[in-house]
Amino acid sequence: MAVLGIDIGTQSSVLATIHKGSVSVVRTELADRLTPSLVLFAQGHRLMGDHAAPLVRSQAKACCRGFKNLLGEAFSGSSRVERERMFQLAEIAEAPGGVAGFKVMVGDAEEVISATRVCAALLTKLKQVAEVSTQRPVGEVVIACPAWFREANREALLDAAQIAGLPCLRIISDMTATALDYGLYRRQHFSDAKTIVAFVSIGHSTASVCISSFTSSGAEVLAQVSNPDLGGRDMDLLIAEHFAKAFEKKHGMNPMTNVKAKLKLEDQAERAKKILSANIETTFAVECLMDEKDWSGPITRKLFEELCQDTFKPLLLKLLQQAITLSGVDSADIAHVEAIGGCTRIPWIQRCISEAFGKGISRTLVGDECVARGCALQVCIAAQVVVLSLGGAAMASLHFKVREFDFSEKLWYPLSITWSGEGPLSVSSCTQPQPADGTACSDSLPPVGSHEIELPVGTPTNSLRKITFLRSGSFDLRVAYKDLGRDCKAADLGGCRVELPEGCGPREVHVFCSLNYNGLVRFPRACMKSLEADVADASAEQGDSAAGAAAGGESSEVEQQPPLADPAAGSPQAPPPAKTVTEVPVHRIPCASRLTEKELQTYRELELQMENEDRRFKEIQARLNELETEVYAVRDDLGGPLSVFASSEEKAALLKLLEDLEMWVGDHQDDPKLTKSAIGENDQALKKLAGPVQYRRQQSELRQVAVNKLRATIQESRQAATGGSPDYAHIELPKMQQLLQAAEADEAWLNRVVCKIHERHPETLYITSNALLCITGSRGFGPAKRCLWMQLEELAAIPLFKDPSILAEQIDQRCSDLETLAKKILSTPKPRPLSPVPPPPATEEDIMDVEGVPSEGTTSSKTPHHPQQGASQSQQTDDGPEEPMAEEGAAAA
């Protein structure tokens, strides 16, 4: 399973994973490290990422961009929505649930898609990119969010991940991820003393500042501030508006009111901004800006800085000072200042950062990828310990296990918890939420006259509070943004309802409130304690602890206290009454703009349907492109190699069909109703006409190869049968004659079925002049060669645009049969050599004869005949058959 760190940017997104113990960035289909954060709703399908970028200008109204800034935002009464209208291409409208969305065409109907569902579409695309790149399914992910994201925005991002089918383990701030990527690999450079580092990020739409302290064992975020209205696109807008005013002054037309003209200005403004980071002057030029009127003009670095002097620069300086103040440290105590993001390359921005912190900036991090890398290093926290996994990529991953590095986030926006009825008896902070009765919590005095509990800025995540109420009936708790005011609709974040049994009487109710790792307030559980008098009565009636536990309910527990000793009487006092703790149900009350479980399931099914439609459209487009490629290939071949293999009627029919298919492909290029069967029918029609012509050409080429191969095999077989090679001397003559006859039979067949090359039909030549040279030993077509048996007899009068009667497969079959026979005969094993027979043992007479003393009854001669010599002469005789050596020795004796 692949684990991912995902950084969803306003302009582009980055994916990081863990591969072979190190963090690596996932590349897209175009081998790029950045994926454009674009979702385009075309007719019946969607285009995301790299596939949507080329169509932004032509289909601007259907393109959704910058949707991250609209996640969880209420449509009415939100300043964020009003500001985003300046940068969006598709129309922003109210989606179901009262949240901001985009009005686009889905199929044949106009529909408002919420920013959450648009973000889910991009996450689906990123998941597909990761699966293709890593060749593994995506298992666990951690997603980064801007530092200004509040609870509603974070919940919407989690909903988008769930709709996309991604198991999101954690939502982490982008600056926290940056600090994590910075600190983990520099542990050896830190000591027990704190090293304070500031991180400044200025991206496409957001500027953020984070100040963190690092030690060898972990890190702590001291301050984190962010401004979503301070980014590169704001500087692009200032440049574009400057030249739009100049164009309007000269031509009387405002290009900012036209979508395509506005996009052209934005592209040139971004280009000028990047060039001015390294140069002091450049040219701002746009062709056909409006009504075919061009515009061009110079822009200098000084002019660029002046445009940002009154708006951008003061906000940036204020943000930097706010981070220093919130951290509580002096700028002189900050050891390093790390700058990330593309806009931090601008010289005047670098001067502002250096002046604010009183030191130079460094760029040791990869500015575009450090957030995704930090997310890939984020691992699950258990018992307030953050375990980083170098073998896995998500802080909550259960698959990996490595070194420890303490790291936690904080709450950077104030929250308040209110309730219905009387206030709580006490509020306490718990270290761990494990005990059922909350005995691990340290009780504190109840807030006097307070009507709410505040979670201030800087509250650490993964914290738990126990709120004790005295209630006799069900009641509600609500969570809201404290800094927005109670009258603001967007301030309400939902809450929970604690259900108590009817007629239970006053009871102590403990409600546990947690701030989880994602920065979200949740009410995981609640329990009820009986009053001491009621418990005492119940205990007296039951008589023992077991019966008392049964009286407390099915899920109740009874706390037994040990007897207390009376120091005056010297005898133990009666034990106090037992306390019964009963779990009570807690029902979550979602915010009106949040998605319910049923809605999430519905949107998940819709996302799967759209994903299938996207896949079907992609497959259809691939088939359509294959058909178009085949049309062009047949047309090119028909004017070249295929020309002699097609008759005039076939050429005319093919050209007419190719023209019709080309027009049909162009008309159905973006047709959402196009089916695979329609493409298949046109493909079959093309193959029906072009197939026979291509088959003739194929046979012409294959037949040349087959004839040459058969001739070579015949020659090799004849050479093996008549060459007298010592390697085949052991093979019987009848077998060699069989091989020779087979080779001559194939050659005779080849010569019988070849025809005369008629001088009036030179186009009937089916083999090359090299084959002619192989057979006749000379080249050319002189008078003596005009009657050579070179071509197939059935092909003598058949032109190339007719189907041949002799196929290459027939010649190949002849060649294969001859090769099989030759292999069978020539692989006959040699016979085993005869083993030599030992000579008979020497007799006494033989010994005396050897010593020169003639034995009795024998006659000596000048040249004695030795038995071995006779045997040797007998073996060297070529005429007579070979006799056994033992018989020759006996005859000599």
Q: What average pLDDT score do residues 166-179 get?
A: 92
Q: What is the spatial distance between Cα 655 and Cα 646, in angstroms, rounded to a whole number?
A: 12
Report whether pLDDT(278) > 70. Answer: yes
Does the domain at 2-166 match CATH 3.30.420.40? Answer given as yes
Pairs from 506-509 (Cβ < 8 Å, separation ≥ 24): 506/470, 506/471, 506/472, 506/531, 507/470, 507/471, 507/472, 507/531, 508/425, 508/468, 508/469, 508/470, 509/468, 509/469, 509/470, 509/471, 509/584
Report whether pLDDT(777) > 60. Answer: no
Question: What is the largest distance, in Å, between two alpha-carbon atoms of the chain?
Answer: 154
Q: What is the spatial distance between Cα 593 and Cα 488, in angstroms, rounded to a whole number?
A: 13
C-alpha radius of gyration, the chain, whole number: 46
Report whether pLDDT(460) > 80. Answer: yes
The pLDDT of residue 353: 95
667-690 burial, b for 16+ CB within 10 Å, e for fewer? ebeeeeebeeebbeebbeebeebb
SS3 478: strand
Is 881 or 810 the better-scoring residue by pLDDT?
810
Q: Which stretch of 125-129, 754-758, 785-789 has the lowest confidence by average pLDDT? A: 785-789
Is 882 or 240 the better-scoring residue by pLDDT?
240
Q: What average pLDDT score do residues 262-284 get?
A: 94
Which DSSP symbol is given to 406? Answer: B
Which of 413-422, 835-844, 880-889 ranks highest by mean pLDDT?
413-422
Q: Which residues contact 675 (CB under 8 A, 6 or more apart)?
A: 620
Q: Residue 761: pLDDT band by 50, 70, 90 thresholds?
A: very low
Q: What average pLDDT score do residues 740-747 get?
A: 90
The pLDDT of residue 830: 84
Q: What average pLDDT score do residues 578-607 get?
A: 86
Nearest CA-CA partner of 149 in 185, 177, 188? 177
Cβ 299 vs Cβ 277: under 8 Å: no
Tell me which residue has tokens 């800094």. 483
Q: How do residues 74-112 score in pLDDT, each as one tens digit? A: 898 888 999 999 999 999 999 998 899 999 998 888 999
Report whether pLDDT(227) > 90. Answer: yes
The pLDDT of residue 670: 79
Q: What average pLDDT score do residues 510-522 get?
A: 90
Residue 339 dihedral angles phi and psi, to the nearest 5°? -110, 130
The pLDDT of residue 204: 94
Q: Which two tokens stand for residue 55?
A: 């169509």
Report whether pLDDT(401) > 50. Answer: yes
Cβ atoms < 10 Å from Cβ of 153: 22
Q: Residue 857: pLDDT band by 50, 70, 90 thresholds?
A: very low
Residue 460 dihedral angles phi and psi, to the nearest 5°? -70, 145
Residue 113 dihedral angles phi and psi, to the nearest 5°? -100, 125
Q: What is the spatial distance between Cα 827 and Cα 810, in angstroms, rounded to a whole number?
A: 26
Q: What is the spatial distance between Cα 753 and Cα 741, in angstroms, rounded to a whole number?
A: 18
Cβ atoms < 10 Å from Cβ of 566: 11
Q: Which two tokens stand for residue 143?
A: 């997603």
Q: How do residues 287-335 score in pLDDT, each as one tens digit? A: 999 988 999 999 999 999 999 999 999 999 999 999 999 999 998 999 9
Average pLDDT of the chain to the nearest whole number: 80
Q: Residue 886: pLDDT band by 50, 70, 90 thresholds?
A: very low
Q: Residue 781: pLDDT band by 50, 70, 90 thresholds?
A: very low
The pLDDT of residue 700: 84
Question: How far does Cα 773 stand from its chain's mean position?
Answer: 59
What letter represents residue 382's amino acid? Answer: A
Q: What is the spatial distance between Cα 471 and Cα 527, in angstroms, rounded to a whole number?
A: 12
Q: What average pLDDT score do residues 410-434 get?
A: 79
Q: How far is CA 580 from CA 151, 577, 839, in A?
A: 36, 10, 115
The pLDDT of residue 65: 95
Which DSSP symbol is given to 783? Answer: G
Q: What average pLDDT score do residues 475-486 get?
A: 85
Q: What is the spatial distance between Cα 429 and Cα 420, in angstroms, rounded to a whole number?
A: 21
SS3 854: coil
The pLDDT of residue 778: 40
The pLDDT of residue 592: 75
Q: What average pLDDT score do residues 875-885 get?
A: 42
DSSP secondary structure letters along 303-316: HHHHHHHTTHHHHH
DSSP secondary structure letters along 566-612: -TTTSSBPPPPPPEEEEEE-EEEE--TTSPPHHHHHHHHHHHHHHHH
Cβ atoms < 10 Å from Cβ of 501: 14
Q: What is the spatial distance between Cα 379 and Cα 707, in angstroms, rounded to a whole number?
A: 69
Cβ 235 vs Cβ 203: under 8 Å: no
Cβ atoms < 10 Å from Cβ of 406: 15
Residue 441 dihedral angles phi and psi, to the nearest 5°? -95, 145
What letter represents residue 608's amino acid? Answer: L
Q: Residue 184: pLDDT band by 50, 70, 90 thresholds?
A: confident
Q: What is the spatial distance between Cα 828 and Cα 198, in angstroms, rounded to a whole number?
A: 86
Q: How do residues 537-591 score in pLDDT, each as one tens digit? A: 444 444 444 433 333 334 444 444 444 444 444 445 555 555 678 888 999 888 8
Q: Residue 754: pLDDT band by 50, 70, 90 thresholds?
A: low
Q: What fold characterizes domain 193-371+380-409? A: Actin; Chain A, domain 4 (3.90.640)
Report whether pLDDT(257) > 70. Answer: yes
Report whether pLDDT(863) > 60. Answer: no
Report whether pLDDT(804) > 90. Answer: no
What letter represents residue 751's amino acid? Answer: N
Q: How far is CA 203 from CA 86, 344, 419, 485, 661, in A?
A: 18, 8, 40, 30, 48
Cβ 102 vs Cβ 64: under 8 Å: yes
Question: How far does Cα 107 stand from its chain's mean position?
Answer: 27
Percent of the chain whose predicted confidence (pLDDT) is above 70 = 78
DSSP secondary structure letters along 342-381: GGGGSHHHHHHHHHHHTS--B--S-TTTHHHHHHHH-B-E
Q: Which two tokens stand for residue 194?
A: 């704190």
Q: Which two tokens stand for residue 12?
A: 């582009």
Q: Residue 505: pLDDT band by 50, 70, 90 thresholds?
A: confident
366's torsion region: left (phi>0), alpha (psi -120 to 50) or beta?
A: beta
Residue 100, burial from CB neighbour count under 10 angstroms (0-12, 13-18, 19+): buried
Q: How far is CA 7 from CA 149, 601, 864, 880, in A?
A: 14, 25, 110, 98
Report whether pLDDT(240) > 50. Answer: yes
Q: What average pLDDT score do residues 871-892 get?
A: 40
Report whether pLDDT(861) > 80. Answer: no
Q: Residue 847: pLDDT band by 50, 70, 90 thresholds?
A: low
Q: What is the spatial distance between Cα 8 and Cα 174, in angstroms, rounded to a whole number?
A: 10
Tell me which residue has tokens 């479980």. 597
Q: What is the spatial distance between Cα 310 and Cα 319, in angstroms, rounded to a whole number?
A: 15
The pLDDT of residue 575: 57
195-202 vs 334-340, strand pairing mode:
parallel
Domain boundaries, the chain: 2-166, 193-371+380-409, 423-463+479-514+521-561+575-589, 607-831
Cβ 127 vs Cβ 164: under 8 Å: yes
DSSP secondary structure letters along 132-154: HHHSS-EEEEEEEE-TT--HHHH
- pTM, whole model, 2 decimals? 0.77
